[in-house]
Amino acid sequence: MTLAPSSRVQLTEDGKLRHFLTTEHLPRSLLEDILDTAASFVDVGGRSIKKVPLLRGKTVVNLFFESSTRTRSTFELAAQRLSADVLNLDIAKSATSKGETLLDTLRNLEAMAADMFVVRHQDSGAPFFIANEVTPNVAVINAGDGRHAHPTQAMLDMYTIRHYKGGFEGLKVAIVGDILHSRVARSQVHALNTLGAEEVRLIGPKTLLPVDAEALGATVFTDMAHGLKDVDVVIMLRLQKERMDSALLPSEGEFFRLYGLNNEKLQYAKEDAIVMHPGPINRGVEIASEVADGPRSVILNQVTFGIAVRMAVMSMAISGQDSAPAGGAHGS
């Protein structure tokens, strides 16, 4: 089995998930495994006792170099429902770790017998660096790194699409907004292509579209009328307000007029198109309330599926670590 560079870190020698860092270069069968495993966890959220003992006695460390209450909460809930013990480390706010190198922080947590690091970092690539450095029996999950990747978000989006559309065959998917700075968009494009979507479209103002869109396997559009034409799925991205000031973007009002999703623009899409958003939504900026709260919005279902997808990835990575021969696929 020959693996692309990033999958070499992510998979054991026999192709099981050991870290989850990016959706890129992973085989279709593995992405489908994640979706199938998540399906079994969706039920857990509906049970009276929302808990399975899969990670009992395991220590999950939420290692957040960039604060994010929402993302941290979803991983914390997923870990609790897998019966893991959770340690929240908000490195961004911690004074103690200052002056200590990242590697020393990692080595210390490993020495405390942590089993998993859920890593959020402002720098692209940080979770890769960490995954390459950790001891063989620690799994690393990327909870968002710089502009690079947010693979659990992308996989919950894939779960949502498969749930509502039955599969990816023949699907046209549009991703709308600030594509250039979006780690979510990059992870979505990779996953959609691997899973066999027919067409992935990126829609936004020229200044917010990536130059390598075609290499990514996507088509770019600068207007909604053409971009949304006959799509099955519309994924709106959150507009980071801090970009506004940077002259890359027109005003909020202008952006909404051109790219904000309202019922009028939604008519370009197929009649049964679903509308998605990674949250938290800016009402009246990238999406109108009539759409966010309308019958085609599946935004809250994404959140529900998100817990299940995170449970799936966490349990698969722990199980991949357990099955790997100590030191086996490590360090390449």
70 is in an annotated binding site: yes
The amino acid at 119: V
In one-letter notation, the amino acid at residue 15 is: G
235-245 as b/e: b if 16+ CB within 10 A: bbbbbeeeeee
One-character DSSP codes across 136-168: TT-EEEEEEETTTB-HHHHHHHHHHHHHHHSSS
- Site size toward its own copies, by CB under 8 A: 52
Query: Among residues 184, 185, 261, which one has the least CA distance to residue 227?
Result: 261
Query: How near is the Cβ of 280 to its own copies at its closest, in Å?
Result: 4
* 153 appears as a binding residue in the annotation: yes
For residue 136, state whether it binds its own copies (rule: CB under 8 A). Answer: no
| Mask for 77-96, x = binds its own copies (CB under 8 A) | x--xx---x-x-x----xxx
Instruction: Check binding of 70 to its own copies (CB under 8 A).
Output: yes
Contact 155, 183 (CB under 8 A): no
SS3 255: helix
Q: Which residue has the tokens 């691997």?
A: 194
Q: How far is the CB of 36 from its own copies (least distance, A)?
A: 20
Q: Is 8 in the site for its own copies (CB under 8 A)?
A: no
Q: Which is nearer to its own copies, 282 or 315 (CB)?
A: 282
Please tell me whether residue 47 binds its own copies under the rule CB under 8 A: yes
Nearest CB to its own copies, comparing residues 218 and 299: 299
Residue 32: how many other CB atoms lie within 10 Å: 15
Does 240 bind its own copies (CB under 8 A)? Our answer is no
By CB under 8 A, tell whether 300 contacts its own copies: yes
* Closer by beta carbon to its own copies, 78 or else 216: 78
Choice between 3 and 77, CB closer to its own copies: 77
Is residue 307 part of the contact set for its own copies (CB under 8 A)? yes
The Cβ-side half-sphere exposure at 175, using a 13 Å CA radius, reads: 34
For residues 151-166, b (16+ Cβ closer than 10 Å) or e, as one string? bbbbbbbbbbbbbbbe
Task: Report the alpha-carbon distance of residue 278 to residue 196 in Å, rounded.
Answer: 21
Q: Is 120 annotated as a binding residue?
A: yes
238 a known binding residue? yes
Site residues for its own copies, 14-43, by CB under 8 A, read none
183 annotated to bind ligand: yes
Nearer to its own copies, 35 or 307 (CB): 307
What CA–CA distance (Å, rounded) separates 290 from 177? 18
Q: Which of 241, 248, 254, 267 binds its own copies (CB under 8 A)?
A: 241
Position of tokens 């692209």?
124
- What are the residues whose beta carbons fall under 8 Å from the beta carbon of 162, sequence distance 6 or more? 35, 168, 195
Task: Report the candidate in 288, 289, 295, 175 with the shortest Cα–Cα distance to residue 224.
Answer: 175
What residues line the site for its own copies (CB under 8 A)?
A: 45-51, 56-59, 67-70, 73-74, 76-77, 80-81, 85, 87, 89, 94-97, 99-101, 104-105, 107-108, 110-113, 241, 279-283, 300-301, 303-304, 306-307, 322
Binding residues: 70-71, 98, 120, 150, 153, 183, 238, 279-280
